[in-house]
Amino acid sequence: MAQLVTIFGGSGFVGRYIARRLAQQGCRVRVAVRRPNEAGFVRTYGVVGQVEPVFCNIRDDASVAAVLNGADAVVNCVGVLSEAGKNSFEAVQADGAERIARLSAAEGIANLVHISALGADADSDSEYAQTKAAGEEAVLSHIANAVILRPSIIFGNEDEFFNRFAGMIGPVLPVVGAKTRFQPVYVDDVAAAAVQGVNGQVAGGIYELGGPDVRSFEELMNQMLDVIHRRKLVLNVPFFAASIMGAALDFAQAITLGLFHNGILTRDQVKNLKADNVVSEGAKGFDAFGIEPTNMGAVLPQYLWKFRPSGQYDAIKASAKNLRG
């Protein structure tokens, strides 16, 4: 019988690419999500019954144990960029990761791949980074040979980074931490590494995943603007001003009891943006998987074209200008 893999958060940005790759190699895939009715699209990744979305709440032992039953391997892709209600950093990225690893070990599952983040650090000022580090520690305490992947900012068709900034309206593009450096990594490269972890093709441990290019936030925005054929002023927002903005937006979320969700800018995100997000010197990375990371320039035009002034017709219009009667 084909290997059964449970993917927590398997309908999310990274999870769906992992699910597709596993289905293509013949695995049965159980996609554990909070809203399975909204994850029906994952069924198309395989033949009938091969990929199935199922309900799971990672804050509950019984719920997690149920989706682990009979699984041969596990991938945890669950994480939050900003807190909302009961889905706090601690509950999701620390306690949730610990619960998945603990119950996986109890089920006798040896292969676990945990998607963390570059910059995970117990000593960071950012709670996001602290809980990412706590989650890693908890996972390794239960499954010592787990494969932990720490990607930098991930780009791809459904990303919340380039798509978000490309969709901003107006002549000015404000960014916090314009000089902070990133090493963007293509989502399918991360998925390929995760699949090798599932298959036991790499040793357990922590791997830092970054693309071939290191760019400042400002440089990334200028590259994006070049791709979408738009001219804007990339304006650096000082950290002290950004902290005030984040505090105000966090307060608005608190006083509205979550009716307003601060998906714009939080105080914790400002803290995160103060530190470079690049692969550490000497860290294990894509080389261990035999993967050559994909260049941004080869991928960004494939999905950012919709933000060009004339969308898919932009290149045609530009070419028409060169025609002579």
Per-residue pLDDT at 135: 98
Kindly give, in sequence order, each residue whose CB lies less than 8 Å from that of residue 45, ignoring residues fewer than 6 positions away.
16, 19, 20, 23, 24, 29, 51
Counting residues of the chain whose pLDDT is more than 70, the rounded percentage is 96
Mean pLDDT of 295-312: 92
Q: What is the pLDDT of residues 239-254, one digit of tens each?
A: 999 999 999 999 999 9
Per-residue pLDDT at 218: 98
Q: How many helices (H) and strands (E) does the chain have?
A: 12, 13
DSSP 256: T
Per-residue pLDDT at 119: 92
How sure is the predictor about 259, in pLDDT bands with cuts at 50, 70 and 90? Answer: confident
Asked if residue 38 has pLDDT above 90, the reply is yes
Per-residue pLDDT at 266: 95
How sure is the predictor about 312, in pLDDT bands with cuts at 50, 70 and 90? Answer: confident
Contact 3, 71 (CB under 8 A): no
How sure is the predictor about 84, in pLDDT bands with cuts at 50, 70 and 90? Answer: confident
Per-residue pLDDT at 324: 56
Tell me whether residue 125 is exposed, middle or buried, using C-beta atoms within 10 angstroms of its C-beta: 0 to 12, 13 to 18, 19 or more: middle
Mean pLDDT of 75-97: 93
Asked if residue 320 has pLDDT above 80, the reply is no
Per-residue pLDDT at 158: 96
Contact 141, 125 (CB under 8 A): no
Per-residue pLDDT at 319: 66
Structure tokens at 45: 């990744």
Distances (CA, A) of 45 to 8, 21, 41, 101, 187: 16, 8, 8, 26, 17
Rounded to whole angstroms, how far apart are CA atoms 79 and 134?
A: 13
Asked if residue 120 has pLDDT above 60, the reply is yes
The mean-pLDDT minimum among 149-158, 230-239, 249-258 falls in 249-258
Asked if residue 138 has pLDDT above 90, the reply is yes
Rounded to whole angstroms, how far apart are CA atoms 120 and 124?
A: 8
Rounded to whole angstroms, how far apart are CA atoms 143 and 137?
A: 10
Distances (CA, A) of 200 to 2, 5, 145, 183: 15, 13, 10, 26
DSSP 146: -
CA 85, distance to chain mean position in Å, is 20
Contact 2, 24 (CB under 8 A): no
How sure is the predictor about 323, in pLDDT bands with cuts at 50, 70 and 90? Answer: low
Mean pLDDT of 99-117: 97
Per-residue pLDDT at 318: 66
Q: Which long-range contacts (CB under 8 A, 24 or more apart) does 48-55 make?
A: 50/23, 51/19, 51/23, 53/10, 53/11, 54/30
SS3 137: helix
Rounded to whole angstroms, how far apart are CA atoms 184 and 214?
A: 7
Q: What is the pLDDT of residues 3-37, one digit of tens each?
A: 999 999 999 999 999 999 999 999 999 999 999 99
Per-residue pLDDT at 230: 96
Per-residue pLDDT at 51: 98
Per-residue pLDDT at 178: 97
| Domains of the chain in sequence order | 4-156+185-211+277-291 (3.40.50.720)
